[in-house]
Amino acid sequence: MLLHIPHVLNAEQLRLVRDKLHHAGDAWVDGRVTAGHQGAQVKHNLQIDEHSAVAVELGDVILEALERHPQFISAALPNHVYPPMFNQYRGGMQFGSHVDGAIRLIPGSRAKIRTDISATLFLTDPADYDGGELMIEDTYGVHPVKLAAGHMILYPATSLHQVNPITRGTRLASFFWIQSMIRDDAQRTLLFDLDSAIQRLTQSGADTAALVQLTGSYHNLLRMWTDI
């Protein structure tokens, strides 16, 4: 499932995050420090040291926002969320075609997560830079993604993807991964569609008994497929 999640961060949160990133100084490092063998060969960007105080502070801002975003919860059904990371593309920087690693070690711990879902949260307005599209490949072709600041894209971590070269300006974004309670993307999609339909029917004043039955089916499928 390729899903646009709008308004993850509001204007005040965006100002805070961008200001902290613009003044991060030595916390910006070569993006290849966290890339695997495949990614290091095609990754040309900067990112915030994930152990730095600014990464932790801003990551908490995003995690708190996600906890309050019902569409994210419904779509991702998160079990664990990797601490958000931050990158910067400017002056021709790009990230060539790659697939994200299947397992990530949580910084500062021995805990690992399985990367079921990849997320990119855009922090720069599209009018402020040229290029920098996130290109995501699936069965139906290649999809260019360049969202408004504060908006996020979710996509299967199994997807082949890349970031096009920047030809003007600077692109700031946060990126991270989610281990879902539902490992299978098709099952997550079905549950998200069912949950969305239940919410719309509830708002329309649909038959209460039918809604109870549909909600029961949703939770029984969740119980059947949950991987926790």
Q: Encode pLDDT of 116-164 as tens digits.
A: 999 999 999 999 999 999 999 998 999 999 999 999 999 999 999 999 9
Longest dimension (CA), the chain: 59
**CATH (domain of 209):** 4.10.860.20
Q: Judge whether 143 is annotated as a binding position.
A: no
Q: Which domain holds residue 111?
A: 3-180
Cβ atoms of residues 188 and 182 within 8 Å: yes
- Predicted local confidence at residue 33, as pLDDT: 84
Question: Do 191 and 219 share a domain, yes or no?
Answer: yes
Answer positive or negative: Cα dihedral of 74, 105, 101, 91.
positive
| Number of other CB atoms surrounding residue 1 within 10 Å | 16
pLDDT (average), residues 107-111: 87
Q: How confident is the model at residue 228 (pLDDT cuts 50, 70, 90)?
A: confident
Cβ atoms of residues 56 and 43 within 8 Å: no
What is the tally of structural domains in the chain? 2
pLDDT higher than threshold 70 for residue 38: no
Question: Do 172 and 198 share a domain, yes or no?
Answer: no
Domain-ending residue, one of 180, 195, 212: 180
Torsion of CA 181, 183, 187, 188, to 10 degrees: 50
pLDDT higher than threshold 90 for residue 39: no
Angle 135-84-166 from CA coordinates, rounded to 5°: 35
Domain-ending residue, one of 164, 180, 196: 180
Distance CA 87, CA 47 (A): 4
**Percent over 90 (pLDDT), the chain:** 91
pLDDT higher than threshold 90 for residue 173: yes
Residue burial 129-153, b: 16+ Cβ < 10 Å; e: rest: bebbbbbbebeeeebebbbebbbbb
Question: Do 17 and 48 share a domain, yes or no?
Answer: yes
**CATH (domain of 161):** 2.60.120.620
Q: Judge whether 188 is annotated as a binding position.
A: no
What is the DSSP code string of 192-219?
HHHHHHHHHHHHTT--HHHHHHHHHHHH
pLDDT higher than threshold 70 for residue 21: yes
- Write down the pTM of the prediction: 0.95
Angle between helical axes of 11-22 and 53-67 (0-180°, round to 10)? 170
Question: Do 108 and 214 share a domain, yes or no?
Answer: no
What is the DSSP code string of 75-102?
HH-EEEEPPPEEEEEETT-EEEEE---S
Q: Which residue reads 């008994």 in tokens?
A: 209
pLDDT higher than threshold 80 for residue 35: no
- Predicted local confidence at residue 52, as pLDDT: 96
Q: Judge whether 90 is annotated as a binding position.
A: no
Q: Judge whether 19 is annotated as a binding position.
A: no
- Predicted local confidence at residue 37, as pLDDT: 66
- Predicted local confidence at residue 36, as pLDDT: 66
